[in-house]
Structures are given as structure tokens and as C-alpha cells.
Amino acid sequence: MWQSMAQRAAVLMAPSGGLILACGLVSAVLGFWLAPAAPADFQARAMSPSVLPTSPIVVAAIGDSITYGWGAGNPQVDGWPSVLANIGGFCVLNRGVGDDTTALMVARFDDDVLSSSPKKAIILGGLNDLTKGVPPEQIHANIQWMVSRATANGIRPFVGTLTPTRSKYEPIASLNAWIRGYVARTPGVGLVDFYTALEMPVGSGTTTYLADWNHPNTQGYRLMAETALRSLRATSIRLSSRSQTLSVYGGTLRVAGVLLKDGVGLPGQRVVLQSAIPGAPFRDVSGASLTQSSAATSTAGIFEFLVVPRNRTYYRVRFAGSSEYAMCGPTAGIFALPHTLVSTPHVPSTMSHAKYSTVYGYLRPRHAAGTRPVRIYLWKKTASGRWKSYSYVVAKASDYESYSRYARRLRLEHTGRWRFRAYAPTDTGHAASWSSGYDYATVK
């Protein structure tokens, strides 16, 4: 039979009327254990304050019969909150109540979650709402309310996606899509993707992890616990540096950021710098173009790399992971765009208007031989003493030691005083650069 709302709020309810507290390698049932005649048969007795948990609660799991562990061989041991406690080594309070909707979870949230002062709360509900025809907007509002209450009370909320059913049930996919989107755009809220953990490939059947139409079996609950643990231990990593064009060739880019766990910096953890050139995948960096390829985070979780890119290069940082903290995805990438180093062109001091002369210079880094990466701009001095622009000619690159030599043969028909300056336009790997100075020639 159904108990009153007062009874439901006063004790941690389950289909059997028990309160399950799992801590480390021990799962204890607090209150009275009454074997149910059927999944929908609920009984309860008042719980004495003397059996309230005294160990610090790390996680409170609130939900329906799937959180309770219906379908497991022994919910006290095999339900996902109990398995989570065993593999995680911390106390998990099971606040699962069979046939609960998100509205009923809202009604008992303060008493069943907030009163236990957990560090984190996992919210898993909505399937019973869908089968009862509750509008999706109301389910969304209930989940958002619980998340807000947890956050306001210093509890880190996690929202679980609904688990698969034996046959494809489209409303689950829609609600799960909303949950993923809501978590992604809500700072401080974690996702526990139970659905993906239990989803089977198309055509393979969906019974492997299910005890009945919708309740996982012992194997399925184990997967749920492992998924929850990965989410609870998840880290995040972000860069404080931004993409930039370096002011000079050979300039240094600072790649800095922070590694976080629950918004707090993680000290002493190894992070690895990765780089990529356009069109290529990211790879761990090695070589002499940086101070180090990996670094340990500071006491505040901060890290820093100094790199000297020679071409347009993208950088990101990944967490190497550890036995205590789960790996997270890498940071978003930033890019550095260095300038080309183009030397002042060398010009014969005297040139003949009837003969060709060679104008040349040097270019770093090396450009492909035969390409024309440099323009040589020309000016002629007028009778008034002003310099008149005569556009430019294009110079061809050739290999020279570890860099390039650019050169152009030209003949100037007008006698007088001329000046020359080199310019390397922007290309896919470099920002535009002028030579630092001019060279001059007198044409006779």
C-alpha cells in the first residue's frame, strides 16, 4: 500500500520500505526490511532517529525504483548506489522510491537530500513521468528546481540520463537530449550518462542489461555505478591563454591554464601539451621548440608552457589522468601565428639601365623552393626629393642552408636614385612581414 507523504518525507523510502546507506565496502540497511509481494507493493514503517547515518555522506542518490535497485539480485548490494559506494570507497545514501515521479522527488528533496548534507547529489528521474503522461516542460522544471536547490545549499548536482527500455521508447530519447543540453549550458552541473552506458548496438537486442521492461539487472547496475564514478571523479581543464599573432619571428607563446575538480584547482597533476598544424591531428609535443612537453600543476592547479612556433600552430593541453582522478577531454585549441623573418634586400650600389641585376635576401623559416613568397617594392626619388612608388616585383625562393634565399633579376629603365624593400605577404602559416630596412641603388 502507499504511505502518506509525511512518511515518505520522514524516511528514505524504497519499494521494500528500507533505508539503504552504503559506505565503502559495507552496505547497511537502516530501518525495516519488508519483502514486497510485487514491484508496485509498497510498505513502510517509521524509522527511529537512532538509525540515522553518522558517517559523512559523500553522495545522495535520489530517484525512483531504478535508483532503489529493483531488478538487481540484492538491491542492498547490487543496486547501483551500493556498487558505487563499494568501488568508490565513500558513503552513498540511496534515496530511491519506486514509482516516483519528479514531482514526488521535488516534494521530498529537502528532507531526503538536503538534510543529509552530502557533497554531491545524483538526480535520476522522469521515466515514470513519461509513462504517466506528465508534460516534458513540467519534468524539465522539476529537474531544474532540484538542481537549483542543491546548488543553493552547496551540493554539487549531477543529472542522470534515463536508462534504455526493452523496446525503443522515443520520449526517453527526447528527455535525454534535453538533459544533455541543460547540463552542457548550466555551469556547475555534472552529467551521468547512464543511457549510453547501457545502450546496446542497433539490431543486437536490448536485453543484456535489463531484468524486465525497464529495470536494469545486476550487470546493468554495475555499469551504472562505474559510469557514475567516472562522472563524480571527472575533471575539467581550460586555457587562460588566447590565440595570437606573435609580434616578431621567433617570439614566444605562453600556453597557460588550470586543471579543476569541482571548480577547485588540482595540484601536482601531470598535464601534456599537444600541437597540430593546419589539416593534421593533434599530437603530444616534443622537441626543442618548447620549455617542456609536460608539466605538473601548481598548488592552485595552474600550468604553463612556453613555445616558439615557426609556422601557424594550434595548441591544446590534455590531462594525463591518475588513479584518483578521471581523465577529461582536452582543452579547446588556440593558435599562434608567427611572422616571417624577411631580410632587407641586397642591391648593387650601382646598376645599369641596360643590364639586368640581381636583388636578393633571406627568409625564415624555409619556404618551398620555386615558390614566390616575397615581393620587392620599389621607389624612385623625384626631382623634388620625394619617393615615388613603382609597385613591386615578385622574388623566387630557393633553399639556402636551413632557411630560404629569395632573388629576382630586374632591369630599371629610368636612371636616378632607387630604393628597395622586401615584403612577405600573409600565407597559411605566417603573418605578413616587412624587412626591417631599405637598400638603395643608383641607376645609370
Residue-wise pLDDT tens digits, 388-441: 999 999 999 999 999 999 999 999 999 999 999 999 999 888 999 999 999 999
Question: How high does pLDDT run on average in the chain?
Answer: 82
Q: What is the DSSP letter of 344?
A: P
Distance CA 325, CA 319 (A): 10
Is the pLDDT at 184 greater than 50? The verdict is: yes
Residues shown for the chain: 444
Contacts (Cβ under 8 Å, ≥6 apart) of 308: 250, 251, 252, 253, 289, 290
Which CATH number do you get for residue 417? Answer: 2.60.40.10
Whether residues 326 and 215 share a domain: the answer is: no
Domain boundary among 312, 337, 362: 337
Contacts (Cβ under 8 Å, ≥6 apart) of 364: 249, 310, 340, 341, 403, 404
β-partners of residue 2 are none
* 223: Cα separation from own chain's centroid: 23
Grid coordinates belonging to 141: 522544471
Whether residues 66 and 200 share a domain: the answer is: yes
β-partners of residue 284 are 274
Tell me the residue range of the domain where 245 lies: 237-337
Whether residues 382 and 365 share a domain: the answer is: yes
Contacts (Cβ under 8 Å, ≥6 apart) of 136: 171, 174, 175, 178
**Coil, strand or helix at 130:** helix
Residue-wise pLDDT tens digits, 197-208: 888 654 444 567
Domain boundary among 295, 310, 337: 337
Choose among 379, 381, 376, 400: nearest CA to 390. Answer: 379
Neighbours of 166 (CB within 10 A): 14
Whether residues 85 and 130 share a domain: the answer is: yes
Q: Which residue has the cell 521494500?
A: 16
* 170: Cα separation from own chain's centroid: 28
Whether residues 261 and 386 share a domain: the answer is: no
H or E segment and range at residue 148 = helix 136-152
pLDDT value, residue 166: 76
Whether residues 406 and 293 share a domain: the answer is: no
Whether residues 89 and 226 share a domain: the answer is: yes
Domain count, the chain: 3
Whether residues 422 and 391 share a domain: the answer is: yes
**Coil, strand or helix at 124:** strand
Residue-wise pLDDT tens digits, 119-164: 899 999 999 999 999 999 999 999 999 999 999 999 989 999 999 8
Choose among 61, 70, 12, 76: nearest CA to 41. Answer: 70
Whether residues 86 and 216 share a domain: the answer is: yes
Whether residues 176 and 243 share a domain: the answer is: no
Domain boundary among 282, 304, 337: 337
pLDDT value, residue 44: 26
